[in-house]
Amino acid sequence: MEIFENLSASSRLEPDELDVYSRAVREVTERLGPAVISVGTRSGRGGGSGVILGSAEGTATAVTNSHVVRGLGREGLRVTLSDDTRADAEVLGDDPPSDLAVVRFAPEIEPTVAPLGETRNLVVGQLVVAIGSPLGFQRTVTAGVVSALGRSLRGQGGRLIENVIQTDAAINPGNSGGPLADASGRVVGINTAIIGGAQGIGFAVPVSAAFRRVIFALVTEGRVRRAFLGVMVQSRQARGGSSGGAQVESVSPNSPAEVAGVRPGDVIVGFDERPVRSMDDLLNLLDGQAIGRDAQLHVRRGRSETTLQVRPREMPAE
């Protein structure tokens, strides 16, 4: 076949019907893309992504990462919507331990709201799609699979973010805060981290009951209340017939722990009737319900175990 005939024939080809995989990714993009925003500053500096989860009375509410809004400092937030319109935004609240934040802004037209899914319905190998603004390239779509479930990722302040989704969908700086969606276009995670130097290893904060509690608290109170003992601890492994626990490295002056009589070297092994086998066990028990409530702190001191009375305070903002 002459090359000119081949060139001419190619110009008359009808568009091919998309294969099943491509059609699924395309449908997610069309459904979810209009709800994805880029989060930056009024001066034009980019920070990350976000996804609109609610709208009312001319305003829209979007979720992003705490490290995105904190990383932009005090320059003033501005979001860019999928139609390239911009709006100034305010932070309703952010929560470093879960790496979640909520922003609100007034769009020019009624925004598209993303539907929420549920992480517990995911399976390893399932198709997922990430949408965001990696390295400033807005409305970038990548696809992959759920690589693993039940991972743990340590957030700011040392708390674990439980049941994190691991995915091989390409995630780069700027994707942070954007949605990870299933094949139905439902948001199942908020992209949050990558492993530096690795390829195809990204993580997303799962949409779960804990996620919903955090977002509700940020919208209604601007913060997530957690209890504070005033101790620095590290996990101590079980050994020599003794159980593991949270070993106290230091005690803050005038803290609830100091008032209760906790000393450096103590190993916290229980909080009320619940066992403490690690630092993470203790942090998970210090939720909002523990604030201002008398509790029994079981500690191992040397060869003996003692019980102290402690009343946790609310964790300070900083």
* Listed residues 201, 224, 247: the one ending a domain: 224
Beta-carbon contacts of 258 under 8 Å, excluding residues fewer than 6 positions away, are 230, 251, 252
pLDDT of residue 13: 61
* Listed residues 224, 254, 286: the one ending a domain: 224
Token pair in block for residue 41:
């500053």
pLDDT of residue 105: 96
What global pTM score does this model have?
0.82
Quote the domain boundaries for residue 301.
227-314
Tell me whether residue 99 is one of the annotated catalytic residues. Answer: yes
- Do 217 and 233 fall into the same domain? no
CATH at 162: 2.40.10.120
Q: Which of 38, 67, 82, 147 is catalytic?
A: 67
- What tens-digit pLDDT sequence spans the chain (318 residues)? 566 666 666 666 667 788 899 999 999 999 999 999 999 998 888 789 999 999 998 999 999 999 999 888 778 899 999 999 999 999 999 998 899 999 999 999 999 999 999 998 999 999 999 999 998 888 899 999 999 998 888 776 667 787 899 999 999 888 999 999 999 999 999 999 777 777 889 999 999 888 999 999 999 999 999 898 999 888 888 876 677 899 999 999 999 999 999 999 999 999 998 999 888 889 888 888 899 999 999 999 988 999 999 999 998 766
Token pair in block for residue 151:
């991972």
Total domains present in the chain:
2
* Listed residues 167, 189, 224: the one ending a domain: 224
Q: Which of 49, 95, 98, 99 is catalytic?
A: 99
Tell me whether residue 298 is one of the annotated catalytic residues. Answer: no
CATH at 234: 2.30.42.10
Query: In whole angstroms, what is the distance from residue 43 CA to residue 86 CA?
Result: 12
Q: Which of 82, 176, 266, 278 is catalytic?
A: 176
